[in-house]
Structures are given as C-alpha cells and as structure tokens.
Amino acid sequence: KCRHNHLHTQGEGVRTFPQPILVTRPLLPPIPAITRRMEDIWGAQWLTNMGKQHGILEAALTQHLRVPHLSLLCNGTIALLVAGKVLDMQGEVITTPFTFAATPHAVNWTGAEPVFADIDPVTLTLDPKAVEAAITPRTTTILAVHVFGMPCDVHALAHLAAKHNLRLLYDGAHAFGLEVEHTGIGNFGDITAYSFHATKLFHTAEGGALACGSAEMHTRIERCKNFNILSEETVGGVGINGKLNELQAAVGLAVLEIMDDERERRARIAAIYREVLGQVPGVTVQPVLPQVTRESLQYFSIRIHEQEYGLSRNALHAELKKHNVLTRKYFYPLCSTFECYKKLPSSRPENLPVATRVAAECMALPFYGALPDEDATTIASMIRDMPR
Ligand code: T4K
C-alpha cells in the first residue's frame, strides 16, 4: 500500500487518491507551542473564567481583526445567542436560508422567529431588496451572514437598519480576517459573531467571539457570557455560561503564531483552483469581490451550472467521492427546508428562488494549507476533465 497520497491511475482518465481528501483539516500548531502554554496554565492553577491566556488571546485578536471591542466565547453558536440576548432580538428576524443550521437556530433559541429572505446571485449573501420587502411591524433585527467569507452589502444593510430602526447582527463565522475597504469586517453592524471551530482557519478547537463598536454593548456581552454576574453578591440579569477556557485560548495563541503561513498556503491553493477552473464552461469559482481588501481564505466554493457543464453538482459530488475527493454540498439543503422551519411562510421556495438554485449548484472544495499544490491541481483538473 502506498504510504503517500500519490494518485493511482486506473485506465483512461480515472484517477483516484489512495486516501480520502477531506474538505478541510484543522490547522495543527507544533506540539511544543501547546505544551509550553499548558505548563503556564498548570503553573497558574487557573483553567477558565477569564485567565491569563484568555486575556492575551483577546487582546491579540482585537488587534488582528482591527475591531474596537472583542469578547471571546466558547463557540460560534453561543456567541450568536449572547449577541441575540444583548440586542434583545425578539419578534421577527430576517435572515438567509443559505447558511449553516446554527444561524436560524440561534434566532429560534433566543425566542424570535426566523424570516427567510432571498440572496444575491453573486455574493450569495442576503439581498437587501429582499430584506426590505420582508420587513413588517414585528421585525426587530437583520441577521446577515458573510457566507464563505464573501461580505454582505454592508452599506445597503446599514441603510436599511437605520431607516427601519432595526438591529443589525452579522454572522461572521466564515469571515475571520476579512476586510472590506481596509476595514475589519467586525466594524459593521451592531455586533459580529465569529466561530473558532476546528474547521475554521483560525481556531481554538471550539470557540468564538463577538466584536462590537460600542463600549456599553461590550460590557453587556462580557456580563452576559458570565451568567450576568456583576459581583460576588449581585446578578444583573439573565446570562449564560459562554466562556472560553484557558486550554482553548492556548490553542488559539499557538494557531495565531502560524496563521500567516497558513494564509499564504491557502492563497496559493485558491490561485491554483482559479487558474485551472476559471475558464471551464459551467463552473463559477468563488469571486473575490472588488470591495474586499483582505480575503478571509476560510472556504473555497464553486458553482456547477448543469446545462453548461454537462453534469449536476450532485453528480459531480458523487463522482469526486468515488475518487476519494470529499467535497461538501454547503449549504444544501437550505435551512428553510429543515423540519423545524419549513412551515414558516417565508420558507416557500417561491420566496427564495435564488437561494434554492444556488443550494443545488454550490459545493465547497478541499481547502487547507497542508493540501499539497499537486493535489489541488489534480482535484481541479478532475473537475475540468470529468467525463460528461
Ligand atoms: N454560523 C455559520 C455560518 C457557520 O458556518 C457556523 C459553523 C456557525 C455559525 C456556528 O459556529 P460553531 O458553533 O460551530 O463555532 C462544520 C463545523 O462544525 C461548523 O463549525 C461550521 N460552521 C460548519 C460549516 O462546518 P460540519 O457538520 O460540516 O462538520 P464535520 O464534522 O462534517 O467536519 C467538516 C470536515 O472537517 C470533515 O470533512 C472532517 C474535517 N474535520 C473536522 C473536525 C471537527 C477534521 O479533519 N478534524 C476535525 O477535528 O460542521
């Protein structure tokens, strides 16, 4: 058996990787970078509740993401819940169906009702026109997602929020490091939620954060994530345990040290995918939008237009799987089709024509720094040359 992941060629054009290539692998810092910090944690006998590693990481990320205020949380979903709580997210919340389950779940879990609006066919983020059409007297919040690191139309959404007196919450789970017009993405809207899950470029195994512009909001977030404890004898309101522990923070600090190299590797893989797939009829590669001045490099998505390409996205996904390339159909099925949301009036496919089409066309390609250039070239060539 071959030790390396060399290709096995089995006759005409059929090439198979000996081991499965997954859509992503976590970025793993060298073990000594972790153990060094573990010794520090053991020495301090301080494992959680805003310890030293937590403080160092929070300061480092505030700077890295170029945001005014940042709070670490235990994962991206709890980050969204805490944001929903401090924004008093009630009534109807307009959001996108083209996202991970966590987005509408966070709305439901805070006691509000998700209202799905359609997406833009290029950025795949909420279409501001569809958002405006969905506003009712019960609407309190817009929850928009920078899906695959493609920024929402932040100016149009800010305008809508101001005009209709709505809160604007961003799910930035895919948008770590993203900058628009030289501004960290966490500067837009009232609050931006990040995920630091193991599958993200920057991660703490499990983790997340909330960025916001207002010091007062920041204080509310800090209290809410720690049971809303104000002092040993005072609890100021309803809170939750949303804390990131010292071990997670240590992982984050070690990951941060190797982030630049990882970003370089991913930029190279994205360039390979774009070069090989850019001109293939029926394949649209994820665009870099003109307003983006720093990419997030967390996901690489393509869209397959069946008529022009000659195979459906589903068929291509299945073919690649046969050859050990495990792409993912993010985000299919749409959240609006989930059992818990499908009866909502806004979930009707007629209300979501673009999202419905995109969910059938889109797929995420393997994208992580440890993927060798040759493998990225092979994967892209397989998509280009797939018999059809
Ligand atoms: N909002 C949005 C828009 C999100 O995308 C997410 C999370 C959230 C909010 C919530 O944030 P968190 O609460 O998760 O912090 C994965 C992630 O678990 C999830 O964080 C992420 N979005 C979502 C898009 O992807 P699954 O169910 O697809 O993960 P799974 O287990 O299939 O893993 C994906 C691939 O990664 C697999 O091929 C295996 C590989 N993998 C995974 C892990 C955990 C590894 O190689 N090593 C690992 O340790 O959800």
Q: Which sequence spans correspond to the domains of the chain?
A: 9-25+259-385, 31-257
Q: Is the pLDDT of residue 236 over 60?
A: yes
CB atoms within 10 A of CB 83: 31
CB burial of residue 9 (10 Å; 0-12, 13-18, 19+): exposed
* Contacts (Cβ under 8 Å, ≥6 apart) of 367: 23, 24, 266, 269, 270, 298, 299, 300
287: left (phi over 0), alpha (psi -120 to 50) or beta: beta
Rounded-to-integer distance, Cα 13 and Cα 166, Å: 55
Average pLDDT for 99-110: 98
Question: Which of the four pLDDT bands, split at 50, 70 and 90, describes residue 6?
Answer: low
- Kindly tell me if the per-residue pLDDT of 2 is higher than 50: no
- Is residue 9 over pLDDT 60? no
Q: In this predicted model, what pLDDT tens digit does every residue of 128-162 receive, in sequence order?
A: 999 999 999 999 999 999 999 999 999 999 999 99
One CATH from 3.10.20.590, 3.90.1150.10, 2.60.40.3140, 3.30.360.10 for 9-25+259-385: 3.90.1150.10
- In this structure, are residues 83 and 225 in contact, taking their beta carbons and an 8 Å threshold? no
State which amino acid sits at residue 194.
Y
Q: What percent of the chain has pLDDT over 70?
A: 96
The average pLDDT across 274-293 equals: 96
Q: Above 50 in pLDDT, residue 379?
A: yes
Question: What is the arithmetic mean of pLDDT over 233-237?
Answer: 96
Which CATH architecture is the domain 31-257 placed in?
3-Layer(aba) Sandwich (3.40)
Q: How far is the CA of 197 from the centre of ligand 1 (A)?
A: 7
pLDDT-based confidence at residue 15 (cuts at 50, 70, 90): confident
For residue 12, pLDDT beyond 70: no
Q: Taking CB atoms and a 6 Å cutoff, what residues make up the pocket around ligand 1?
A: 22-26, 75-77, 99-100, 102-103, 145, 171, 173-174, 195, 197-199, 208
pLDDT band at 264 (very low <50, low <70, confident <90, very high): very high
Closest ligand 1 atom to Cα of 24: 36
Give the distance (Å) from ligand 1 centre to CA of residue 365.
Answer: 14
Distance CA 114, CA 92 (A): 6
Nearest CA, atom 33, ligand 1? 199
**pLDDT tier at 96 (50, 70, 90 boundaries)?**
very high
Mean pLDDT on 59-72: 98
200 CA → ligand 1 middle, Å? 8
Residue 5 has pLDDT above 90, yes or no: no
Q: For 279-308, what is the mean pLDDT? A: 97
Predicted ipTM? 0.98
Nearest CA to ligand 1 atom 22: 100
- pLDDT, averaged across the chain: 96
Q: How many angstroms separate the Cα of 96 from the Cα of each of 127, 213, 273?
A: 9, 24, 27
Averaged pLDDT, 98-113: 98
What spacing in Å lies between the alpha carbon of 129 and ligand 1's midpoint?
A: 30
Q: Please report the pLDDT score of residue 168 as a whole number.
A: 98
- Read off the pLDDT of each residue in 4-27 and give the average, rounded to a whole number: 75
Cα 161 to averaged position of ligand 1 atoms, centre (Å): 30
Residue 3's pLDDT band (boundaries 50, 70, 90)? Answer: very low
- Does pLDDT of 11 surpass 70? no
Report percent pLDDT > 90 for the chain. Answer: 96
Extended beta strands in the chain, E state: 8-9, 15-16, 69-73, 92-95, 113-116, 139-145, 167-171, 179-180, 183-184, 191-195, 208-212, 229-231, 234-235, 283-285, 292-294, 301-304, 362-364
Per-residue pLDDT averaged across 162-177, rounded?
98
| pLDDT tens figures, 212-229 | 999 999 999 999 999 999
